[in-house]
Amino acid sequence: MIRRAGALARAGRAARLWAWGLLLAGCAAGAGCCCPLYSVHPVPEDLAEACACIAPCGRKHVYTFCVQSADPLDCANLEGVKEYVQALGFPMTWFGHYWHIGHFCKEIVRLHQEDPDAHFVVVGFVNGADPGGKLVDKVGAYGICVDLLVRLDSNLLGKESCRPANAHKVITVVASDSKGKRVPADDDEEMYVASTGPFGPATHSGALELLARELARLAGSVPAVDDVPALPFPRNEPTPRPVPTVKAKHEPDEWDFLEPVSVERRQPLPTMVLPPAAPSQPGKDERRAGR
């Protein structure tokens, strides 16, 4: 009996644990959000003003893709980084997971064909896998270069990743208390050590300011010319025929009374009549002859 009572008690505790787990999972699914370990700090006022001084047409030509590694809960809060970039005035910013790399590659190829002034930025959180480098490699197969690749490296496995050949600039942000040791792939790769935990490089204030400066630099390189909307009709319409300035003469007919006639034509002005000449006065010799 005692053993049976103990087994029932353990089964009851296990059932309560399962019930609490299902309840918490249902709450999280109903809320539609996850619980990131790190929060994004507000945008500094001076940095926001500096980005706002850039022409909006230049900021719209900078396309940023934030790719999370094998972390479905997004503990590093990379989606918060996307919202941070959008708050700076860069609306063309997207967030996705590792399985969205194929879709992002198609979007980059499409934008590269439609926008000749496009600048691409890839931000990837490295947690055993390098999703940002994988995306850059896939678009490199189409002959597309990426202006900036930012690796937010938690470095839990301590593996070295090579730099993609089609990336103009690579910045790696490493956590200070990471378990592994990360070294630059070459001399051109910039390293930034963030004093935070393994999942903290994404939301670190120094890393965010570094990303904002690079985005402002790319947006400032775009010519500040407003995008003119395309006309709904083609511009190869026929030119109008020249209108003759002198009216051609025609022979009079019975329908001429229908044509508009000016007042001067209807009532012609009278001709000017010269006044009669004044009689001339006789001279002195003529007066004497008259007497």
pLDDT for position 46:
82
Q: Which residues contact 216 (CB under 8 A, 6 or more apart)?
A: 50, 51, 54
pTM comes to 0.64
pLDDT in tens, 189-248: 677 777 777 778 888 888 888 899 899 999 888 876 655 555 565 566 666 777 666 556
pLDDT for position 58:
87
Structural domains of the chain, ranges and CATH numbers in brackets = 45-220 (3.40.50)
Rounded Cα distance, 45 and 222, in Å:
24
- Which residues of the chain, if any, have pLDDT below 70? 1-37, 154-161, 177-189, 224-239, 243-250, 261-275, 277-291
pLDDT for position 152:
87
